Amino acid sequence: MQPSASDTTGKLADPAAASTLPPQTGQTIGDLLSAKGLSWAWYAGSWNTASSDRTVIYNNKVPNLQSHHQPFNYYAAFDPVAHPDARAAHLKDFDSDFLKDVAAGTLPAVSFYKPQGNLNQHPGYASVADGDAHIADVLAKLQASPQWKNMLVVVTYDENGGFYDHATVPKGDRWGPGTRIPALIVSPFAKKGFVDKTQYDTGSTLRFITHRWSLPGAEIFTNNKATELALPLVEANVPFKIHIVKDRDMKERLCLEVERLRLSAMIMGSRGFGANDIRGIISKGKLGSVSDYCVKNCICPVVVVRYPQEDEYGDGAVEKKRRLRLNCHRYRRRSTSIMMPMS
């Protein structure tokens, strides 16, 4: 963190120091948002203080800014000397900028916020209680903002904190997945009291931003996901075609595509969002609004598969999932079409 001897502004790190990361030039989510003309900002606790006083960085005292928690700071596009305007527009302070923007209803389309070190709940140098109180305070301010009615907040972490977790870590490689981390969705659009047991990772938030704002890369994710879903058909040597379907109203669009492609049957998943109770069709089950519509309106038979939940099936959930996969392998058709929705 020593300043460069050749930099008279005192804003650049010493490039000769072993701890100095060379300016990064890779594409970021910020670049994609800017290219689309969308506003965004990274807010950081004690950012202004640390910018003028390096002694508060990694000092294990309040505010204890963690510079490696400020990812955009390491990119050439936000060089404080070469690109001061871009830096000022996108890298901002919590106290002087974030709180003001929240109260005024002027937060950008996409906002990131990283608390200062003593509030980030990191084991060893931060308090869990102080962090919880800070999260509650920030959420209360966001809920009082004029923008709240259109807001979605994701509260999550970069690691699990080192405490015991009874859940088995999914198989992966040396880079992950790791142990579970908390993630809270707070929004007027969120399903109240709902616990989603789908496996996500830290890239899921960026995926959501990419999808919400139709940024480049959304199609790549969809194609990869469709290929993943088709894996049982590949393994079973069942011919298939992939059709990417994109529409704001997927209910009617799926039914129209079924008719256009002349499908003899459709198999679709349901997670129960916007669910209607359908006792008698699936015991103790619910269909989401899209699957419910397709069941009632598609011209072909519709098979709805609900992913087994532990609270529904208990210890037998894993076995039911295995049987479901085996049944997919045994299913034989001359040709199969996979429609991948993009709402």
Q: Select from 89, 133, 80, 131 the least CA-distant residue to 111.
A: 89
Overall domain count for the chain: 2
Which of 190, 212, 234 is the endpoint of a domain? 212
The reply to whether 175 and 295 lie within a common domain is no
Say whether both 241 and 331 belong to one domain.
yes
**What are 125-150's pLDDT values in tens digits?**
999 999 999 999 999 999 999 999 99
| Cis upstream peptide for 177 (omega within 30°) | yes
Q: Are residues 185 and 36 in the same domain?
A: yes
Is residue 208 domain-shared with residue 239, that is, in the same domain?
A: no
What pLDDT sits at residue 343? 36
C-alpha to C-alpha distance for 197 and 141, rounded to whole angstroms: 29
Q: Crossing angle, helix 250-261 and helix 289-297, to 10 degrees?
A: 40
CA atoms within 13 A on the CB side of 107: 26
Q: Are residues 200 and 250 in the same domain?
A: no
Can you tell me the distance from the alpha carbon of 307 to that of 291, in angstroms, rounded to the nearest whole number?
A: 13
Which residue matches tokens 């009291």? 193
Residue type at position 82: A
For the chain, what is the mean pLDDT? 82
On whether residue 41 sits in a domain, the answer given is yes
Q: Is residue 333 part of a domain?
A: yes
Write down the pLDDT at residue 216: 84
- Judgement on whether residues 208 and 231 belong to the same structural domain of the protein: no
Which of 169, 187, 212 lies at the terminal end of a domain, its last residue? 212
Q: For 173-196, what is each residue's pLDDT tens digit?
A: 777 788 888 899 999 999 999 999
Which of 17-31, 85-99, 264-278 is most confident? 85-99
102 pLDDT higher than 90: yes
Residue 17 forms part of a structural domain: no
Domain that holds residue 153: 29-212
The owner of tokens 């209360």 is 140
Classify residue 49: in a domain, yes or no. yes
* pLDDT above 80 (res 32): yes
pLDDT for the residue numbered 308: 56
> Do 201 and 235 sit in the same domain of this protein?
no
pLDDT at site 1: 53
The answer, yes or no, to whether residue 83 has pLDDT greater than 60, is yes
Is 219 a domain residue?
no
Number of H helices, E strands in the chain: 12, 11
Residues 110 and 256 in one domain: no
Per-residue pLDDT tens digits for 280-320: 444 445 667 888 889 999 999 999 887 555 444 444 545 45
Q: Tell me the DSSP string of 112-160.
A: EEE--GGGS--TTTS-HHHHHHHHHHHHHHHHTSTTGGG--EEEE-SS-
Structure tokens at 126: 């931060």
Identity (one letter) of the amino acid at 126? A
> Do 246 and 160 belong to one domain?
no
pLDDT at residue 9, as a whole number:
74
Q: What is the token pair recorded at 98?
A: 């974030």
Q: Do 157 and 199 have their domain in common?
A: yes
pLDDT band at 25 (very low <50, low <70, confident <90, very high): very high
With respect to residue 33, please indicate whether it lies within any of the assigned structural domains: yes
User: Do 234 and 200 have their domain in common?
Assistant: no
- Domain boundary (212, 244, 279) is at 212
Residues present in the chain in total? 343
pTM over cut 0.95: no
- Does residue 70 sit within a domain? yes
For residues 57 and 141, state if they share a domain: yes
Domain-embedded: residue 196: yes
